[in-house]
Structure 1
């Protein structure tokens, strides 16, 4: 492995992962702001940090190198110097609603007074109006009303590092995310890839950058093996974006098949990995709520084709049969969340019972609160490493959501 990114499966032994320790941003908002920031509750920060540290330590105990978004971002700024710092800050302010004007100038002066690390942490945490001795006359962003407490909104979803980018093969997608609350997040990933010494000028291919109007998020991107991707058609990822990244992969990599899987477009099932994950060579978790009668679900097998689109699509509805075909397997073990019980399945799926992080074939990290699903995984022969989850789960994301694999061993 000579590339700093090497990720050809969902299940190869995990070697390096990107995390974000929850910071001030996860409780730096009011109940009225929760819908805007895509949260259902306000986590208790000290416990959320304790839980996340336990999660990270579990990964390190199993031989995984843990990199942190906030640290890499500051190191990228250090490497890029004053020109990059100014460029990054201008873009962040513009995407926050302040491309110019007196408020832009006041915010830039305030943030520019900080070290690179402190500035990154402050941008992530959000900038409240009472932090700056300034009375604006030109508010142009979401903070237009006088009683709104922030100039720059906090980014509480940052600890879900899976979504702003996805490492595929020896490249990456840097994603245009769906909702304004999360769209600034991938600015950090873009800067790291372009300027951090670990990644810059290392031949990393960007399969799709963030400069698009159509949406895609990493929770929908599953790397099934070294030539097959599965991508959810979901609330957060559009069919157009899937076709776009498929064309890029087919043209520039060894990937030849993308399996598009349609899931309900709602907050409970926001990404494919909230209802479906790969846990072994021939084993998957699946929330039974996404399957129709007889286990049916709309899927499209996308391969290279002729014509204007450059793609060929085959529609099918038998998920198990499709997986067997594209992965060349004799059988597939679909393990139902909550054992298939309609009450337990819905409860544990809401608490990320389907959102497993596989760190080696048949070895998964899960939330301890999903005890029915966890016991079923063990009965199916899997090794389950449970992490504590009372506060982290309030953000509607589990161990897979909280991790962006950068390097995995080949199978």
Structure 2
């Protein structure tokens, strides 16, 4: 793999390098199995792989270097990995905040084997100085982490991330140069599982969110003290307006990724009216990909991408 310095100070700067993982080789053939593994519907792995290749190609066509970590595993690791049905949701495994990689810890036993597979590769690829934080002692899934700008990070605690885990990494985040970390505790349901199923950054000054989030406070930590604010107040404080959605289809409408400040990669299932109703979003270049089969696993495009380098 080509050597580079990890770097992510936002969710909207130009994406240069991203880590993905191909879906497993297993089908989820009936609704009973889907329910028991926490998926929304049956899934055919051949269709899922077709979705993945379209998704991967769309990223590469926009100049993004894609690393499929499934291709880097040892034969022994792959005998397990290729049967892990959630392994393509790589966002939760780790995150780059500033110039450091923060390693996650699974909040679900079904996903636990993926973490050492991915972490061993990250440890191999990057110098120890970049691995700022080893796995916390309690659950930290990085789909709950949103980098607002060079000053602020928003983190959700709940089903898959604990306050103890956030407390274990917050000083390291401050050491990267961020001055505020806001912690929110959102409803604990399958449709609100991670932060990125409730809100997402669309511009340097705009965040899209489910309308119920306006009722939630955040606990804001600095290196010296803490305070409480309402979510919108905190976001406004850091230069963000909030586009609240009253109606939404959680995964395709909220779970997208910024390729650069002008371009979003979105699901073909996304509600198009959301992108035409807001004046800032009308100007966006929207690239649609068919990830319908992959979305049946309960996550979307952001869940499937782990940005390693943004410029």
For normalisation by structure 1, the TM-score amounts to 0.70
Deviations 1:257-305 (A, max 9, x none): 11112211111110001111111110111112x33xxx32121111112
1:121-132, aligned counterparts within 5 Å? Answer: 121-126=78-83
d(CA) in 2 for partners of 1:49, 1:394: 13
Say if 2:112 is the partner of 1:204: no
Match among 186, 192, 203 for residue 269 of structure 1? 192
Say if 2:236 is the partner of 1:279: no
Say if 2:289 is the partner of 1:387: yes
Unaligned runs of 5+ in 1: 75-115, 127-154, 306-311
**Conserved in 2, the CA contact under 8 Å of 1:186 and 1:210?**
no
Bigger Rg, which one: 1
* Number of aligned positions between the proteins: 307
Give the drift of 1:38. 2.7
Residue in 2 that maps onto 1:336? 244
Say if 2:176 is the partner of 1:253: yes
Residue in 1 that maps onto 2:77? 120
Give the drift of 1:222. 1.1
Say if 2:256 is the partner of 1:356: yes
d(CA) in 2 for partners of 1:42, 1:363: 31
Give the drift of 1:399. 1.0
Deviations 1:60-107 (A, max 9, x none): 1111000011123x3xxxxxxxxxxxxxxxxxxxxxxxxxxxxxxxxx
d(CA) in 2 for partners of 1:171, 1:379: 31
Give the drift of 1:233. 1.9
1:11-410, aligned counterparts within 5 Å? Answer: 11-25=12-26, 27=27, 31-72=31-72, 74=73, 116=74, 118-126=75-83, 155-195=84-124, 198-199=125-126, 201=127, 203-207=129-133, 209-210=134-135, 212=137, 214-250=138-174, 252-288=175-211, 290-291=212-213, 295-305=214-224, 312-317=225-230, 319-325=231-237, 327=238, 329=239, 332-337=240-245, 340-341=246-247, 345=248, 348-349=249-250, 351-371=251-271, 372-376=273-277, 379-409=281-311
**Of Structure 1 and Structure 2, which has the larger fraction of its residues in helix?**
1
Tell me the secondary structure at the aligned position of residue 157 of structure 1: coil
Tell me the secondary structure at the aligned position of residue 292 of structure 2: coil
d(CA) in 2 for partners of 1:51, 1:335: 29
Give the drift of 1:36. 4.8
**Conserved in 2, the CA contact under 8 Å of 1:279 and 1:362?**
no
